[in-house]
Amino acid sequence: MPVSLSIRNVDDALVARLKRRAARHGRSAEAELRDILAQALEGEADTEFDRLATELRRLTADRRQTPAECLQREGRVER
């Protein structure tokens, strides 16, 4: 789901440079910012946790999962 971001206290000169760059690429400053963010994060490697979580989801994709609320209810009944 798309999310809106807000950046405060951006230097006027930086905003002007962004607008010039966006104009050169034929798009809005907002579209230019989205592209800059995508390019900046493109090479970011997933953390070890992300890799392990992805692998666990792959391994358990076909298994029946018990909803957390059912497990909590069972825990309360056992007390």
Helices 12-24 & 29-42, crossing angle to 10 degrees?
Answer: 90
Q: How far is CA 52 from CA 37, 55, 64, 65, 77, in A?
A: 25, 5, 20, 19, 33
Contact 29, 18 (CB under 8 A): yes
Return the structure tokens found at 51.
């890799």
Q: For residues 13-33, give the mean pLDDT.
A: 97
Name the nearest CA neighbour of 25 among 17, 41, 3.
17
Least confident of 5-14, 18-27, 31-40, 46-55: 46-55
Whether 30 has a pLDDT exceeding 90, the answer reads yes
Is residue 51 predicted with pLDDT exceeding 90?
A: no
Return the higher-pLDDT residue of 30 and 44: 30
